[in-house]
């Protein structure tokens, strides 16, 4: 979010605007952006999430290499297939209608059509399914992050290693950020894009943000009798939220822990019990070939989880020149281009021009008007 904002801001504002990105760890070892599943979908429950995905996909597609759209960020086209049981069918149908009304192409399946399309899946428990036909898939999150960073640097943005420990204010304005080594960087505007740690930075100006670091574990698995040619395997979302998609010759899978067992700030050690207790049984029941799975690699990262409505928080809050771009709860990388562009427009023009991000204003929470994004996994 920080580098995306800097990249768009530098392009929009020109060289006379001095922009500094402060980053405590230039290796990004614990950054969510390095540890993500780096996938993109248009199937969400709120309009702006869909529009941000469409913007993000178009941006990534524009990052061509050797004449191939999206190749510079490893963009692969593949639809998300959502499987619904019982009451989930109605919610998925609502989402499909919403996404279509905004131009997304989504295919709906009845049970027979689904079984014809995916004969290698057990589908007896499924009542409804839908799959994106365009604008969905996955990409290389690290390449995307580095692309923002290198474009920002090429446009004159300074990257400064340091940990922000305080934000200094006079009256209702921020005047500087203070780093752990005592350096003070004067600032006319401060954008808090500290991801899972953004609530700690916001506290420095007396602002409470409901954003918490919530651990999520990714598993790369191999399967000796993989069920289908990789090109036929969708990004599959099970009724219980298990996610699986191809990853080169393997598969990448994850599931969020249950809400009542999801504390803040757990150490970033993979939680193997999620694989044993939830992911493997779910996948083996759906796809018999997945009885034989081996975990090749696992890692954990933090969702910057907005505990109130699971939607991004973008805009001014607290001091009049303090802005946040955080809280995306598992979909921030796919939305980073649209958010970076929007924050840049706000800082330069005082208004959103491309996409109206005002529904994501943090003020909605103070006003008790959350906009719940249901499609969070
Ligand atoms: C396992 C997992 C799977 C995910 N899958 C997807 C997906 O498929 N698609 C998708 O779109 N999103 C996904 N996400 C979410 C996505 O990765 C995040 O929404 C996004 O990366 C957030 O970006 P960010 O810039 O806000 O945070 P980060 O990438 O965490 O960046 C914040 C940076 O701030 C720095 N920082 C923090 N505090 C300070 C301080 N005080 N001073 C200086 N620097 C500081 C940190 O070092 C860090 O580099 C996933 C996340 C995880 C963990």
Same domain, 119 and 222: yes
Pocket-testing residue among 190, 194, 335, ligand 1, by greatest number of atoms within 8 A of Cβ: 194
Cα of 194 from ligand 1 centre, angstroms: 8
Instruction: Residue 72: give the domain boundaries.
Output: 59-134+213-304
Report the predicted TM-score, pTM, of the whole model to 2 decimal places.
0.97
Same domain, 183 and 255: no
Q: Is the domain of 299 the same as that of 217?
A: yes
Give every residue of the chain whose pLDDT is below 50, as ranges: none
**Which pair of tokens denotes residue 375?**
């499609």
54 occurs within a structural domain: no
Same-domain status, 120 and 222: yes
**CA 31 to ligand 1 center in whole angstroms:** 5
- Residues 203, 248: one domain? no
pLDDT for res 175: 98
Judge if the beta carbon of residue 163 lies within 6 A of ligand 1.
yes
What does the buried/exposed string (b/e) look like for 256-289 if buried means 16 or more CB atoms within 10 Å of the residue's CB?
bbeeeebeeeeebebbeebbeebbbebbeebbee
DSSP structural state of residue 9: H
pLDDT at residue 111 in the model: 87
- In a domain? residue 358: yes
Q: Which of 304, 328, 356 is the last residue of a domain?
A: 304
Reading phi first (left if > 0) and then psi (alpha if -120 to 50, else beta), residue 185 is in beta
Q: Is residue 362 part of a domain?
A: yes
Say yes or no: 297 and 163 in one domain: no
Kindly report the CATH number assigned to the domain that includes residue 20.
3.50.50.60
**One domain for residues 234 and 283:** yes
Q: CB of 129 within 8 A of CB of 106?
A: no
CB of 296 closer than 6 A to ligand 1? no
* H/E element, 306: strand 294-306
Do residues 228 and 357 both lie within one domain?
Answer: no
Residue 170 pLDDT = 97
Residues in the chain: 377
Probe residue for ligand 1, chosen from 26, 27, 33 as the CB with the greatest number of ligand atoms within 8 Å: 33
As for how many domains the chain has, the answer is: 2
Residues 299 and 222 in one domain: yes
Residues 218 and 129 placed together within one structural domain of the fold:
yes
Q: What is the 3-state secondary structure (H, E, C) of 228-290?
A: CCHHHCCEEECCCCCEEEEECCEEEEECCCCHHHCCECCCCCCCHHHHHHHHHHHHHHHCHHH
Residue 47 lies in a domain: no
Nearest Cα residue to 158 out of 168, 169, 149: 149
Reported as half-sphere exposure (CB side, CA atoms, 13 A), residue 334 has a value of 25
Question: According to the model, what pLDDT value does residue 230 have?
Answer: 67
Domain membership of residue 94 (yes or no) is: yes
Strand, coil or helix: 54: helix
**d(Cα 22, Cα 3) in Å, to the nearest integer?**
10
């Amino acid at each position: 979010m920080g580098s995306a904002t800097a990249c768009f801001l530098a392009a929009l504002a020109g060289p006379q605007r001095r922009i500094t990105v402060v980053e405590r760890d230039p290796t990004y070892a614990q950054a969510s952006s390095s540890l993500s599943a780096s996938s993109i979908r248009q199937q969400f429950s709120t309009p702006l999430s869909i529009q941000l995905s469409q913007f993000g996909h178009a941006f990534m597609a524009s990052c061509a290499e050797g004449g191939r759209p999206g190749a510079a960020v490893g963009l692969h086209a593949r639809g998300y297939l959502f499987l619904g049981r019982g009451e989930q069918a109605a919610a998925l149908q609502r989402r499909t209608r919403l996404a279509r009304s905004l131009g997304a192409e989504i295919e709906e399946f009845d049970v027979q059509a689904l079984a014809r399309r995916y004969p290698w899946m057990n589908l007896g428990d499924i009542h409804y399914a839908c799959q994106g036909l365009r604008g969905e898939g996955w990409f290389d999150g690290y390449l995307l992050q580095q692309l923002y960073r290198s474009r920002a640097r090429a446009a004159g943005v300074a990257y400064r290693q340091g940990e922000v420990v305080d934000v200094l204010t006079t009256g209702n304005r921020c005047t500087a950020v203070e780093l752990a080594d005592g350096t003070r960087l004067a600032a006319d505007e401060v954008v808090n894009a500290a991801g899972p740690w953004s609530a700690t930075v916001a506290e420095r100006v007396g602002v409470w943000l409901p954003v918490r670091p919530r651990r999520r574990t990714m598993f790369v698995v191999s399967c000796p009798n993989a069920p289908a040619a990789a090109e036929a395997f969708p990004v599959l979302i099970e009724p219980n939220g298990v996610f699986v998609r191809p990853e080169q010759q393997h598969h990448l899978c994850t599931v969020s822990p249950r809400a009542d067992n999801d504390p803040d700030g757990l150490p970033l050690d993979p939680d193997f019990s999620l694989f044993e207790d939830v992911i493997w049984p779910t996948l083996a029941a759906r796809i018999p070939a997945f009885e034989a799975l081996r975990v090749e690699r696992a890692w954990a990262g933090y969702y910057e989880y907005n505990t109130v409505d699971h939607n991004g928080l973008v805009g001014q809050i607290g001091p009049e020149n303090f802005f946040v771009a955080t809280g995306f709860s598992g979909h921030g990388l796919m939305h980073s281009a649209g958010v970076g562009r929007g924050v840049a427009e706000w800082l330069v023009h005082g208004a959103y021009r491309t996409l109206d991000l005002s529904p994501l204003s943090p003020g909605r929470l103070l006003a008790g008007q959350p906009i719940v994004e249901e499609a969070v996994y």
